[in-house]
Structure 1
Amino acid sequence: MADSEPMKLSVIIPAKNEAASIGPVVEQIRTGYPEAEILVIDDGSTDATAETAKTAGATVVSHPASLGNGAAIKTGARKASGEILVMLDADGQHDPADIPRLLEKLYEGYDMAIGARSAGSHANAARLAANGIYNVFASLITGHTIPDLTSGFRAVKAKLFRNFIYLLPNGFSYPTTITMAFMRAGYPVEFVQIKAQKREGKSHIRPIRDGIRFLIIIFKVATLYAPLKIFFPMSAVFFSIGIAYYAYTYSTMGRFTNMSMLLFSAAVIIFLIGLISEQITALNYKQPSD
């Protein structure tokens, strides 16, 4: 497979306490792409993740403490020498055999290809429901069909990915951020349906913590892509309530009240915040000069 690759490939695998699965993952990638650079970013593991990955043939970069999944991806992107980056999980959920399907989309002209998990992929009901809401909301905001906003399995052109490293959070929401960033900047993104397998070992996701993360991602999707699509409807709601309340007080008391003024002021302030946010967002995605 590697002989047909026109550009150098770097595979980035963030890993934390994945000694049970990292070996087979690295070995399968090495078999399919013997010339590829395989970087395992050991994010403060307390087990034999680093040693197992080295034995399997990966280059290991270790964080002295756990910094987060997104931080591991950023470290890998900075260290990688390839022109194309492939990112996948270390827990065995992502099948390296799907890598050629992602790379094919890049060769067709897309700047990022994302492995979209099919409906039959392994996940608990709560996570499937949350992902479904993410996808619908993001699709409405962007105007593009997004079947899997949070997938960590993707192939991307390295130069473009590094342009947005400064935007990426250190936690698990990095896939959301980079997907929205590429779409906002006008880079073509394609989704490839994959079947995610049951993970090896214990998940690092926690219901309460990630329930809060769920809400944050919903707002981040909007603010990363088009803040006015959130702020303008909110402004319109306050303005409409203000009009309705003014009509009520005028008809019953014949006067304009402080509450109506407060609602109108809130509508204007919310709209102006959205307008400023829109300008800041546009500056964030300004393409750098070559």
Structure 2
Amino acid sequence: MQNEDVWLVVPLYNEAAVIADVVREARAVFPNIVCVDDGSRDASADLAEGAGAAVVRHPVNLGQGAALQTGFEYALGDPAMRYVVTYDADGQHQISDVEVMLDRIRRGDVRVVFGSRFLDERTDASAGKRLVLRAAVAYTNLTTGTRLTDAHNGLRVLHRDVVQQLDITQNRMAHASEIVAQIGSMRFDGARVAYAEEPVHILYTDYSRAKGQSLWNAVNILAELIWR
């Protein structure tokens, strides 16, 4: 079967309305999916499991950073795993983008591929949200030594070597910049880890906006970065 060396890691918190569809669509291409239920108060975990995902449960809500770290540790338990994809549970990410990003990393010259919503015009983000997210990118680039166009996009493809070295301690919004900072400081054979970006389509729906994909959420990202 194709993509047996790939695991999708999906942080999951109160997404019962959409998670079954998200998992079923993803499993048509990627058979290995682990959803980390981060203390959901609804049926998210049962629905994800029923759709074919492996499910790991946090008894209380710890935050997306903690859910990703748990998912990384689960995926590392599979000796056949070569790549991890971080993937949102709310339907914002597109499997077609993941396939392009995997094609990029499989060339072998990079160990990380970041998704960027700012490399093409498919993503319909408000002007205010774009402004705040670009400010967050500028801050992240300044403080991590990386050069990205979209540091807070949750769609990433990571080589196993990178996943083994990641240790996320920022559980909330700042985890995205922590991931970038750790990747920026990694060395393999004495050289900085090689990374690339690929354009991706982040689909903002009424549902995802209601779940926190608002301008205010972007402001919170920037504020938490500076506080960190």
User: Could you tell me the TM-score, scaled by structure 1's length?
Assistant: 0.67
**Letter aligned with residue 25 of structure 2:** Q
Question: For residues 8-32 of structure 1, what are the alpha-carbon distances to aligned partners after superposition, in whole Å with 9 as ceiling and x for unaligned?
Answer: 1111000111111211211111111
Change (3 A) 1:207 1:65: farther
Question: For residues 85-111 of structure 1, what are the alpha-carbon distances to aligned partners after superposition, in whole Å with 9 as ceiling and x for unaligned?
Answer: 111100111011211111122112211
- RMSD over aligned CA atoms reads 2.4
Distance 1:95 1:133 in 2: 25
Question: For residues 224-270 of structure 1, what are the alpha-carbon distances to aligned partners after superposition, in whole Å with 9 as ceiling and x for unaligned?
Answer: xxxxxxxxxxxxxxxxxxxxxxxxxxxxxxxxxxxxxxxxxxxxxxx
Aligned to 1:267: none
Q: Which runs of 5+ in 2 are unaligned?
A: 187-191
Deviation at 1:193, TM superposition (A): 0.3
Change (3 A) 1:77 1:144: closer
* Counterpart selection for 2:58 from 63, 69, 81: 63
| Superposed counterparts of 1:122-271, under 5 Å | 122-140=124-142, 145-165=147-167, 167-185=168-186, 186-199=192-205, 200-201=207-208, 202-204=210-212, 211=219, 213-218=221-226
**Letter aligned with residue 136 of structure 1:** A
The higher-RCO structure (CA 8 Å, 6+ apart) is 2
Aligned to 1:150, the other structure's residue is in SS state: coil
Q: Which runs of 4+ in 1 moved over 4 A?
A: 140-144, 205-210
Distance 2:144 2:67 in 1: 28
Structure with the higher fraction of residues in strand conformation:
2
Aligned to 2:189: none
Change (3 A) 1:205 1:65: farther
Structure with the higher fraction of residues in helix conformation:
1
Aligned to 1:111: 111
Question: For residues 158-200 of structure 1, what are the alpha-carbon distances to aligned partners after superposition, in whole Å with 9 as ceiling and x for unaligned?
Answer: 23223121x4311122221112221222111111001110243
Change (3 A) 1:188 1:71: same
Aligned to 2:82: 83
Percent identity of paired positions between Structure 1 and Structure 2 = 26
Distance 1:47 1:176 in 2: 29
Aligned to 1:32, the other structure's residue is in SS state: coil
Distance 2:216 2:93 in 1: 25
Change (3 A) 1:210 1:131: closer
Matched, 1:98 2:97: yes
Contact 1:134 1:218 in 2 (8 A): no
Distance 1:207 1:215 in 2: 12
Deviation at 1:215, TM superposition (A): 3.2
Question: For residues 59-107 of structure 1, what are the alpha-carbon distances to aligned partners after superposition, in whole Å with 9 as ceiling and x for unaligned?
Answer: 1111111100111001101111222111110011101121111112211
Aligned to 1:48: 43
Aligned to 1:65, the other structure's residue is in SS state: coil
Aligned to 1:264: none
Contact 1:25 1:96 in 2 (8 A): no
* Counterpart selection for 2:24 from 23, 27, 42: 27
**Letter aligned with residue 177 of structure 1:** E
Distance 2:21 2:211 in 1: 18
**Letter aligned with residue 200 of structure 2:** I
